[in-house]
Amino acid sequence: MRHSPRGGVGRTSVSDDAQFHPPQALFAISTTSIHPPVDPASASYLQISPRIQAGPHIKSTMSNPFTLNGGACLAMTGKDCVAIACDLRLGQQALTLSNNFPKVFNYGDVWLGLTGLATDVQTIHSLFRYKVNLYRLREEREIEPETMANLVSSTLYERRFGPYYVSPVVAGINQRTGKPFICGFDSIGCIDFAKDFIVSGTASDQLFGVAEGLWEPDLEADELFETISQTLLNSLDRDALAGWGAHVYIIKKDSVTKRLLRTRQD
């Protein structure tokens, strides 16, 4: 007589001629008989696609929403005046869809330039038209440029976890002080105040370079128009995603002049 190993349950006696199989051996025998071994080479469902294996090397086809539709906007200050201008092109990368898509909108004494994703441009324009109208009804006066800047900043910051893909520019004349005001924003509402000029859009690099060379302090209205027009035209010639005409607004305390610039149509 012999006893089962200590790992067994209790002490079960077996006959000497009976062959003992540990639980591991029994499990191995049963699984082998039920599930025969599988050749890994023949199991196609176990093979990982080479495209998945090359994860870091896969190039995303998603476009940058800020540059998808193109566009350019520029604001400059002068002596008791301010100018804001934009191109008129609406495109989808290199494909031009329209040459009549203005990006500067008027809200009383304030002008707002919007570049970026075209759908968000239209959404933001409608949203601020609604908010500025509520401001007029509540305050019984026109909104000032500084107030508009804070309104734009807070509105964009509300959507910081799912931001609007726009780069706004605010320009106007404070009716109480007569001083020109311009500023820009990033997509979550950080304000960039400026005393000279502000740019946004796909032609920002070109606009910065030309504006730094042409802008001078205390420009009269006619000189400011010539400066902002030359800056915009020369920059649009060097950006394939913007152009096809431009609107220029010259804003003074008692008047506003809007002009259309004809640019290259290619």
Asked whether the predicted pLDDT for residue 49 surpasses 80, the reply is no
Asked whether the predicted pLDDT for residue 36 surpasses 80, the reply is no
CB within 8 Å of 175: residues ≥ 6 apart: 109, 142, 144, 253
* CA 99 – CA 113 distance, rounded (Å): 17
Among candidate residues 94, 97, 100, the one with its CA nearest the CA of residue 67 = 94
**Tens digits of per-residue pLDDT, 240-254?**
999 999 999 999 999
Residue 12 — pLDDT band, cuts 50, 70, 90? very low
Asked whether the predicted pLDDT for residue 4 surpasses 60, the reply is no
Tell me, what's the pLDDT at 63? 79
The overall average pLDDT reported for the chain is 83
Asked whether the predicted pLDDT for residue 239 surpasses 70, the reply is yes
Tell me, what's the pLDDT at 194? 94
- Write out the two tokens for 102: 């203005």
Report the largest interatomic distance among the alpha carbons of the chain, rounded to a whole angstrom.
118
CB within 8 Å of 30: residues ≥ 6 apart: none
Tell me, what's the pLDDT at 8? 44
pTM of the model: 0.75
- In three-state form (DSSP H/G/I as H, E/B as E, the rest C), the secondary structure along 11-69 is CCEECCCCCCCCHHHHHHHHHHHHCCCCCHHHCHHHCCCHHHHCHHHCCCCCCCCCCCC
Asked whether the predicted pLDDT for residue 202 surpasses 60, the reply is yes
pLDDT, greater one: 216 or 29: 216
Tell me, what's the pLDDT at 255? 92
Residues in the chain: 266
Mean pLDDT of 146-174: 96
Mean pLDDT of 201-207: 93
**Tens digits of per-residue pLDDT, 59-90?**
444 579 999 999 999 999 999 999 999 999 99
Query: Domains along the chain?
Result: 72-261 (3.60.20.10)
Asked whether the predicted pLDDT for residue 125 surpasses 90, the reply is yes
